[in-house]
Amino acid sequence: MKIIHVSTPVSWRGGEQQLAYLAKALHGKHKQLIICPEGSEMEAFCQKHQLNCQTYTTRGLLNLSAARLLYKMCKLHSADIVHCHDSHAHSIAVMAAVAYSNRTPVVVHRRVDFPVSGSLFSNYKYNHPQIKAYICVSRAIREILAPSLRQPEKAVCIYSSIDLERFSGNGNRKGLLRAEFGLKNSNILIGNTSALAPHKDHPTFLNMAKILHQRFPQMRFVIMGEGPSRLETEHLIEALGLREVVFLAGFRNNIPDLLPDLDVFVMSSSTEGLGTSIIDAFASGIPVVTTAAGGIPELVEDHKTGLLCEIGNPQQLAEAVIHILDSESLRNLLVQNARTKAASFDYRIMAEKTQEVYHKICSALTEETE
């Protein structure tokens, strides 16, 4: 098959990582082309891994130049599928169909857990006939999206995944984070890997940190990630008197080496499509405390693979962390069950199920033309 992927973010976050995993799994099986912004992290990834890539320069919701590029690439490569990996990519594909009569069937990945806007444009965009399938990264997202579709059966659930081989043999503390921030083994270290973005709700995480630090002065906290909310996060850390307690580690590409330094992984998101960083923690043998946002409860079964808390409740998060630290038997149970759970989230499984969606679409179109 000939597949064209469309990705519009300039930065690298969860959606871009999932596209990278998919492209890796499909490499050698199908011909692939990735369309992305010039100067983006995705372009750099394609160059590093020698993946076919075409870039565009202009940005915006109604991106006619990107739509024209998509149309030209579909025609040049006789594409079988256009796979859009974010909302702006979805808009580009619809514009290519409307403005340039592109007839290549489109698959759209849906990764966010909020409803589709009720605007006329959104209604048109989400029900355009060229969109043949929506891949939702959790059942929660599928349930949220389906009411906005005239054909809700187009929405299918395929979980986002990770490269489990990156975590094979992992779990031994390397001490890299502790050495970097001057911490001792006696310091209890709580943290996560999450973008500094509003929906990750770092204010709740920081208020939890203040509660815990008042009880456990030796406790420290680290956030591994970067994003638009960094300045606000820094200001709140200062306002809460946590400058020597909470560390912003920035974006890291060696997460499997760093996660074992954590004693507890805490996710405080207010919205979350699925939360693949939780799967990373599962695979690393780190007990998880998290909010019950979006698709997270499909990963974290309360008191089985982790502890679930209310959204926006720092006190409850703090109590859950203490519960885990106080009970070795609970820690061992959560870690063992979570490792088993993680095994079903290998990226190759995700790729196989995505291929099935592609083949189903192409087979249906073949039947229509016969």
Percent of the chain at pLDDT above 90? 92
Q: Render 13-29 in DSSP notation, one character per residue.
A: -HHHHHHHHHHHHHBTT
pLDDT class for 61, splitting at 50, 70, 90? low
Rounded-to-integer distance, Cα 298 and Cα 276, Å: 11
| E strand or H helix that includes residue 100 | helix 87-100
Phi, psi (degrees; rounded to nearest 5) at 82:
-105, 125
Asked if pLDDT for residue 85 goes beyond 90, the answer is: yes
> Is 32 in contact with 61 (CB distance < 8 Å)?
no
Asked if pLDDT for residue 132 goes beyond 60, the answer is: yes
What is the rounded average pLDDT for all residues in the chain?
Answer: 95
pLDDT class for 358, splitting at 50, 70, 90? very high
Q: Give 13-53 pLDDT, tens digit per residue.
A: 999 999 999 999 999 999 999 999 999 999 999 999 999 99
Strands 189-193 and 264-267: parallel
Phi, psi (degrees; rounded to nearest 5) at 197:
-135, 155
Which residue from 245, 246, 248, 305 is spatially nearest to 275, judged by alpha carbons?
A: 305
pLDDT class for 185, splitting at 50, 70, 90? confident
Whole-model pTM: value is 0.92
Q: Per this entry, what is the length of the chain? A: 370
Q: Average pLDDT, stretch 289-306?
A: 97
pLDDT class for 370, splitting at 50, 70, 90? low
Note the pLDDT of residue 169.
Answer: 64
Strand ordering across the sheet containing 307-309: 246-248, 220-224, 189-193, 264-267, 288-291, 307-309
Instruction: Catalogue all structural domains in the chain, each as residue range(s) with its CATH number.
Output: 2-161+347-369 (3.40.50.2000), 165-342 (3.40.50.2000)
pLDDT class for 233, splitting at 50, 70, 90? very high
Note the pLDDT of residue 228.
Answer: 95
